[in-house]
Every structure is written in C-alpha cells, then in structure tokens.
C-alpha cells in the first residue's frame, strides 16, 4: 500500500507542538479586484492522490497524461471534506470523460506560498507516502500561469508535464501509468477557493478576527510515527465554531492526521467569533497543527 501503517502501536502519550494562528483577510470578502493585484504571485494549492485499487508495473513503463479545467474552484473544499469527520455525501463536478474514483489514496496536500516562487522552482517531499515532486514556473500573469510538474512515486517517474491554468479555476491533471493505476494532481490558486461565497460584505465598518478561546491538542494516530503538519483554512461562524462546509486543508500529509485535527477542532475548539460593528460575524481563520510522536 502506498500509505503504510507502522506495525508498532505506541501506548505512551504523544507529544504535540500546537501552533494556532488566526488571520483575517478582509480583502477577500467579495472584493474581486483585490484578487487581481498586479505583479502578485498568489499561493498555489496542490492535491495529489491515487486511484485505488492499483496495479504496479515496470518502472520503465511510459505514462500518459491529460490536463483539463474543472467547472469551478471549489474542488479543494470538496476533497478536504472527504477526510473530515463531517457526515455528508461528496460529489465532484468534473468534465465528461474524467472520472474521480470512489476509493482513493491521498498522497499529499500542500500549498506553495508566494515566497516559494522566488526562484521559479519549488520542490516538496512527503515522508509518509514516499512521494517527491517539483513545480517549475515558466509564466505567471494576473489571470493565468504556466508550469511543469515532475516527480517520483513508488518507482513511478513523471517528468515535465506541462500545465496551463487560470487563476480563477482549478486544473485537474491525470497521469496514467497503467489502465488500473492513475495519479491525479489538482492545482488551484489559493485565493480562488470560494470560502467567502456567502459572506456579506457591505464595505462599512471594521471586522475583527476570531480569537481562539479553548484549543486542546488533537491525538496523534497510533498507526503513524513520522512528524507531520496539518494546516486548515476555514470559516469561523458567529457561534465560534469551524463551519463544516467551508474549510480547506492547505496541508495534509496523511488522512489520519487530517481527521484527528478536524475532529478535535469540531468537538473541542471554541473561538471568540469575529466582530463587525460590535456584532459577531463569520470570518476566515488559519490553523496550523504540528504532529510529532513521543
């Protein structure tokens, strides 16, 4: 299995480093022109997952790929909910001829910040899944980008896959190794993910960011042993809770880490909600949780 469980089940308590930061981004509250700041490279959100079941073949086998635009940019939210403890039926809207498997294996969720593009090439490695990949940017404008994706996973190498995308859309890349083994890469500019689709922005008054009141550390899954970081970007409701329909995993190296973090935030975390003109309102928050076994 690409995501391997370790045989040693630890019985001792686990040590956690919990970092929580709350960032209000008022310029995202419906202000479309703020998403098109000239000469600004926005953060790029990347999901890599694999079809299951799969069949391994010789590493020398050539692969084929296909890149298409998805109808909207809400795929990262839909995908993130697969690994949350929120009961709901997930449906992915994809172009005709493209099939997202019912059972899939998460290989990596990672967001490359604007600063990471300073040399036009960024690399990332996931120790949980033995996946490594690199993005090389060849062009980035106010409304589109061009880059190439290369990487290696379980002896399967993919090299210089060209990707052309729009800053207001999600790009789906399918990399087929055999008829029963397909890797999927989903790229979305972070600011395009419509977390604020229902937030009213009158443009009057100031909004204060939500503040964490109570936030116990989530449990580290016993099946794992590596360090890992989960970063969640989502909406805190006027009641001081994470909205289960509007959040996205910015980083999630393993589904069990994502589930543990989201379950704890849902059940045990309380926030002082954001305020506008003295009244509680929904607001954006970013939560970072670093997991480490004892």
The band of 199, judged by pLDDT with boundaries at 50, 70 and 90, is: low
Q: What is the pLDDT of residues 206-215, one digit of tens each?
A: 777 899 998 8
Q: Are residues 246 and 181 in the same domain?
A: no
Strand partners, 45: 111, 188
In a domain, 9, yes or no: no
| pLDDT score at 276 | 86
| pLDDT score at 155 | 85
Q: Are residues 97 and 217 in the same domain?
A: no
| pLDDT score at 198 | 57
Q: Are residues 98 and 123 in the same domain?
A: yes
In a domain, 199, yes or no: no
* Residue of 46, 171, 189 lying closest to 109 (CA atoms): 46
In a domain, 31, yes or no: no
Range among 9-18, 32-41, 191-200, 207-216 with highest mean pLDDT value = 207-216
Triad 154, 132, 109: Cα angle to 5°: 105
Q: Which residue has the higher pLDDT, 177 or 261?
A: 261
| pLDDT score at 272 | 94
Q: What is the pLDDT of residues 150-170, one digit of tens each?
A: 999 988 899 999 999 998 899
Q: What is the pLDDT of residues 229-253, one digit of tens each?
A: 999 999 999 999 999 989 999 999 9
In a domain, 161, yes or no: yes
| pLDDT score at 103 | 80
Q: Are residues 209 and 187 in the same domain?
A: no
* Residue of 108, 77, 89 lying closest to 184 (CA atoms): 108
Q: Are residues 158 and 67 in the same domain?
A: yes
Q: What is the pLDDT of residues 51-103, one digit of tens each?
A: 865 544 444 444 588 889 998 898 999 899 888 888 776 677 788 777 777 78
The band of 6, judged by pLDDT with boundaries at 50, 70 and 90, is: very low
| pLDDT score at 262 | 96
| pLDDT score at 205 | 58
Q: Are residues 78 and 147 in the same domain?
A: yes
The band of 15, judged by pLDDT with boundaries at 50, 70 and 90, is: very low
In a domain, 6, yes or no: no
Q: Are residues 273 and 182 in the same domain?
A: no
Q: Are residues 214 and 279 in the same domain?
A: yes
Q: Which residue has the higher pLDDT, 212 or 195?
A: 212
Q: Are residues 62 and 158 in the same domain?
A: yes
In a domain, 179, yes or no: yes
In a domain, 88, yes or no: yes
- Please, is 243 exposed, middle or buried when counting C-beta atoms within 10 Å of its C-beta (0-12, 13-18, 19+)? middle
User: Last residue of some domain: 139, 163, 192?
Assistant: 192
- Please, is 46 exposed, middle or buried when counting C-beta atoms within 10 Å of its C-beta (0-12, 13-18, 19+)? buried
- Between CA 180 and CA 159 the distance in angstroms is 20
Q: Are residues 75 and 151 in the same domain?
A: yes
Number of domains in the chain: 2
Which domain covers residue 118, as residue numbers?
A: 39-192
User: Last residue of some domain: 143, 165, 192?
Assistant: 192
Q: Are residues 173 and 265 in the same domain?
A: no
Q: Are residues 144 and 241 in the same domain?
A: no
User: Last residue of some domain: 141, 157, 192?
Assistant: 192
What's the CATH number where 246 sits? Answer: 3.30.2420.10
Does 22 score more than 80 pLDDT? no
Backbone angles phi, psi at 131, to 5 degrees: -110, 135
In a domain, 32, yes or no: no
């Amino acid at each position: 299995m690409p995501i391997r469980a370790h045989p040693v089940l630890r019985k001792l308590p686990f040590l956690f480093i919990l970092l929580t930061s709350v960032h209000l981004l008022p310029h995202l509250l419906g202000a479309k022109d703020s998403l098109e700041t000239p000469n600004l490279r926005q953060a790029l959100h990347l999901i890599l997952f694999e079809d299951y079941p799969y069949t391994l073949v010789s590493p020398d086998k050539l692969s084929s790929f296909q890149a298409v635009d998805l109808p909207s940019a809400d795929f990262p939210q839909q995908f993130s909910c697969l690994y949350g403890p929120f009961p709901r039926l997930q449906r992915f809207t994809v172009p005709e001829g493209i099939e997202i498997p019912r059972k899939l294996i998460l290989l990596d969720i990672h967001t490359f910040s604007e600063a990471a593009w300073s040399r036009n090439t960024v690399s990332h490695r996931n120790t949980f899944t033995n996946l490594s990949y690199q993005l090389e940017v060849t062009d980035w404008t106010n409304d589109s980008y061009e880059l190439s994706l290369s990487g290696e996973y379980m002896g399967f190498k993919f090299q210089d896959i060209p990707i052309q995308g729009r800053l207001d859309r999600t790009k789906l890349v399918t990399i087929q190794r055999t008829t029963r083994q397909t890797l999927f890469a989903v790229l979305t500019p972070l600011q395009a993910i419509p977390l604020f689709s229902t937030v009213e922005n009158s443009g009057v008054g100031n909004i204060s960011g939500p503040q964490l009141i109570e936030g116990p550390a989530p449990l580290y899954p016993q099946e794992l042993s590596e360090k890992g970081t989960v970063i969640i970007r989502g909406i805190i409701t006027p009641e001081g809770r994470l909205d289960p329909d509007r959040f996205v995993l910015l980083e999630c190296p393993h589904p069990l880490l994502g589930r543990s973090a989201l379950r704890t935030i849902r059940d045990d975390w309380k926030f002082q909600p954001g305020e506008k003109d003295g009244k509680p309102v929904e607001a954006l928050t970013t939560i970072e949780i670093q997991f480490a076994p004892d």
